[in-house]
Amino acid sequence: MKWKLVFIVLAFVFAGVLAVVQLKINLGFDIIMLPQFAPALAYLVTVVLFRNVYKPIICSMNKTVWIKALFAILFPLAVFTAAYCIGKLIGAEAKIGGNLFSIITTGILGILIGAAAEEIGWRSFLQQDLEQKHSVLASSAIVGLIWGVWHIGHFKNGIVFMLLFLAFTVSVSVILARILKNMRYNLIITALFHASINIGFVIFFTTGFENLYFFAIIAFVWVIIAVITVLCGRDYYCIQKKPEEVP
């Protein structure tokens, strides 16, 4: 438990330090977000301090990984699009950013790198260990909750937004756990899934999170999908993995 607390604290501390650095050097957040490197840095420092907790970062490729990687790209965007359509139907004033093309083309590399850096800490490291001691469902929910709170800057949007955001991150984490079944926490899949989510936010929240109504719809859609996913795969979500089942 001691190393997990160290890792989590470091992830928060590094995020704050890197945010200050980014502001000091005047590096645009639309290019890359330095705080996203915090979980990866926390992983590196933690395994140096506690060598016995080292977990390898898996990036292998095969036919199954290719298929799941494609799914990891398309699924989050499809969910965001579905939420957008629902929002339009019920008058949530959902809209797509006008400078979408320039934002994605200039920031796509930063989005991919940042997503991978986060997932090294969250899924490749922390969740892998938690699943040896807790069920897959509990482990993914814990990681999702920590991951959500780690976005500490979102607290400025109010408690209601933050509760919705936590429901969103927990749901995303639970769904991703199912996609990772038999994938050995493959970073390619988690990074692409995470990046696709961030691209979804770029598309539908170009000007920020002031549209609370629309974000509530997005969170609700993800929660519903997570519940359905758990119910359909409840046998998998209830298992606790043995050490030999992970790399």
pLDDT in tens, 136-178: 999 999 999 999 999 999 999 999 999 999 999 999 999 999 9
Residues 13 and 152: their CA atoms lie apart, in Å, by: 11
Residues 162 and 154: their CA atoms lie apart, in Å, by: 7
Domain membership of residue 173 (yes or no) is yes
Helix (H) or strand (E) holding 40: helix 38-49
Predicted structure pTM score: 0.94
**In whole angstroms, how far apart are CA 17 and each of 31, 32, 107, 131?**
18, 15, 22, 30
Residues 92 and 85: their CA atoms lie apart, in Å, by: 10
Look up the domain containing 230 and give its range.
Answer: 56-245
Domain membership of residue 62 (yes or no) is yes
Contact 140, 173 (CB under 8 A): yes
For residue 97, what pLDDT is reported? Answer: 67
pLDDT in tens, 236-245: 999 887 654 5
Domain membership of residue 200 (yes or no) is yes
Pick from 100, 145, 127, 125: which is nearest to 40 by CA?
125
The residue type found at 172 is V
As given in the structure block, the two tokens for residue 29 are 């957040």
- Count how many domains the chain has: 1
Domain membership of residue 17 (yes or no) is no
Residues 202 and 196: their CA atoms lie apart, in Å, by: 10
Domain membership of residue 50 (yes or no) is no
Domain membership of residue 34 (yes or no) is no
Mean pLDDT, the chain, whole residue set: 91
Tell me how far apart the terminal alpha carbons of the chain are, to the nearest angstrom. Answer: 20
Residues 205 and 203: their CA atoms lie apart, in Å, by: 6
Domain membership of residue 37 (yes or no) is no
Q: Which of the four pLDDT bands, split at 50, 70 and 90, describes residue 211?
A: confident
- Whether the pLDDT of residue 232 is over 70: the answer is yes
Contact 53, 4 (CB under 8 A): no
pLDDT in tens, 66-121: 999 999 999 999 999 999 999 889 987 777 766 666 666 668 899 999 999 999 99
52, HSE (Cβ side, Cα atoms, 13 Å) = 3
Residues 126 and 39: their CA atoms lie apart, in Å, by: 10
